[in-house]
Structure formats: C-alpha cells, structure tokens
C-alpha cells in the first residue's frame, strides 16, 4: 500500500479534542411499586407522610391553632444550605403538561433540610391531587455540575389524602399556645374548684391526652397575704393538689405532674387591695413540651 506523507503529517498534527460527557442527575423518588402514603390524626394534629427512598421522609402537618406546613426530614444530615427550586413534573404515565411555575426555596443544613409554610405546602398537595410529581431540585453538595431531584410520588396518594382532609375539618381551633399557661382562681380561704374551673381543667386534660407530646405539667399553688405565712403555704399546697386530683381523674398520667406551692411568696399583683389579692389566690398550670 502506498503511503502519502502529507496526509500522515496532517493527521498526526491534528489536535486531540476531549469531549466531557454530561453529568447524570440523581433522582430520589418512590417508584409505582414502592410508593406509600400514611395518614395519622387526632383532634389536635393531622399528619400525612411519604418516604423518599434513599433520602428521607416528607411530612404535611397541621396542628390545632396553627396553619399547614410541609417539611422533609433526611436520613443523614445535609452538609450545608443550598438554593433549590420547587416545581411540578409529569410522571411517565401522565400526558398532561405540568404547571410551569418554578418557586425558589432554600434547603438548610441538618436533619430537617426543608420546611415550607402554608402557601407552598398547599401547592404541593394540589400537584399530587392532580396526579403530578412534586419536585425539589438543587445542585449536589459535592459537585455543583450535578443536579439532585427529590420527588414526591402521587401513587397511592388519594386515599390517605382524603383522610387527611377530613381530619383538617374537625381539627380543634385551640392549640398548644392557647393551653400552655392556665390560671385557676379561688375565693378567700378556699381550695376546692368551682364548676367553671373544673370545666377549664377538663378541656385542658382533653388537650393533653390528644396531643401526646406534653412532657410535664407544672402546677403551682399560691395564696394572698391574708393569714399567717404557714397557713397560706398549706392553703397553696391544697390548691395545687385540687388541680392535680382533677387532672388525674380525667385520665392524665401521674408521671406528667409536677406540683409546687409557694404560699404568699410569689404574688402576681402586688398590693393589699381586694383586686390584687383575688389575682393572687390562684393555681398556675403550665404545659411543657
């Protein structure tokens, strides 16, 4: 075979060009065979959760007295904060066009990288209700050229979602902030509870049992400055005990109760007027989470 030196020289002198292949995205999503949604609810809390395989668990949550929220808890702590986008995507089996709206969100460092308030949480629910995927997209922490997609699957979403909606309709309007601090007042020299006070404590007990997250109930008995200090100390102890007894009778667990009594040493209002003294004849109840 005859060689052509000119051509050989030309080929050997041609620069070698390296083409970088595109980096593949990483998607965390439950496929149609493994997608699961779970509902749980009480009179004071409604929760809908969904596992994102390999990454963490997504939660829609509304507590009594609060608005709807959405958060993701990751299996491993995320290393740093990163900008992300919230968008809707079509599953492979859906031919409808997704909503083109893209919202900016922030993924935070730690075990709860994403927390969204009512408006964005409602948008995600609406996407899932339409049979669409909801996707949170961001650049990989270790290589910014690579995109990561956290996606919520609509498969098996509907039945738990309907239970979640029913729960929201019956949710109490009063929540932890309303019950956290309660004052019970007493007439002069009395430690027994009147009917109005008993009704307040019954409602408080119902909330504690339904909430399930109360760690302690601090009950502090007080008296006004009429009578001896020793007498007022015993009276404040009886007032604290009266509240504790009714809570126990309503089914509150005894290990939650912390009882204190201070006599006249911690007045709420200083002064010797009847108005001041009536404010000081009391038992304070504090819920602690």
Instruction: Report the pLDDT value the prediction gives residue 189, as an integer from 0 to 100.
Output: 97
| CATH 3.30.1330.60 boundaries in the chain | 176-288
Which residues, in sequence order, are CB contacts of 148 under 8 Å at separation 6+?
25, 26, 27, 28, 137, 138, 139, 140
| CATH 2.60.40.2540 boundaries in the chain | 24-170
Running DSSP on this structure, what letter comes out for residue 78? B
Instruction: Report the pLDDT value the prediction gives residue 7, as an integer from 0 to 100.
Output: 37
Instruction: Report the pLDDT value the prediction gives residue 85, as an integer from 0 to 100.
Output: 97
Q: If you classify domain 176-288 with CATH, what class do you get?
A: alpha beta
Mean pLDDT by 10 residues, the chain (289 residues): 40 40 81 96 97 98 97 97 96 82 95 98 97 96 93 98 98 95 98 98 97 97 97 98 99 98 97 96 98
Q: Fold for domain 24-170?
A: Immunoglobulin-like (2.60.40)
Instruction: Report the pLDDT value the prediction gives residue 127, as an integer from 0 to 100.
Output: 96
């Amino acid at each position: 075979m005859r060689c052509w030196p000119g051509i050989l020289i030309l080929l050997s002198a041609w620069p070698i060009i390296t083409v970088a292949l595109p980096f593949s995205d990483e998607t965390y999503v439950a496929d149609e065979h493994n997608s699961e949604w779970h509902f749980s609810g009480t009179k004071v809390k409604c929760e809908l959760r969904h596992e994102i395989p390999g990454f963490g668990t997504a939660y829609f949550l509304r507590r009594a007295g609060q608005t709807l929220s959405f958060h993701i808890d990751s299996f491993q702590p995320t290393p740093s904060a990163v900008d992300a986008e919230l968008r809707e995507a079509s599953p492979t089996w859906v031919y409808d066009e997704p909503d083109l709206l893209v919202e900016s969100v922030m993924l935070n460092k730690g075990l709860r990288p994403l927390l969204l308030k009512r408006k964005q949480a409602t948008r995600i629910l609406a996407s899932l209700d339409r049979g669409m995927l909801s996707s949170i997209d961001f650049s990989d922490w270790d290589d910014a050229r690579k995109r990561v997609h956290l996606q919520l699957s609509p498969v098996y979403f509907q039945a738990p979602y309907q239970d979640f909606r029913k729960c929201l309709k019956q949710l109490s309007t009063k929540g932890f902030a309303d019950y956290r601090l309660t004052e019970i007042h007493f007439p002069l020299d009395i430690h027994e509870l009147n009917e109005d006070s008993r009704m307040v404590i019954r409602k408080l007990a119902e909330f504690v049992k339904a909430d399930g997250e109360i760690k302690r109930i601090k009950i502090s008995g007080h008296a006004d400055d009429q009578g001896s200090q020793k007498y007022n100390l015993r009276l404040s102890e009886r007032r604290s005990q009266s509240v504790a007894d009714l809570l126990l009778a309503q089914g509150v667990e005894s290990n939650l109760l912390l009882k204190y009594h201070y006599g006249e040493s911690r007045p709420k209002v200083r002064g010797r007027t009847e108005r001041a003294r009536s404010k000081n004849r009391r038992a304070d109840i504090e819920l602690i989470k």
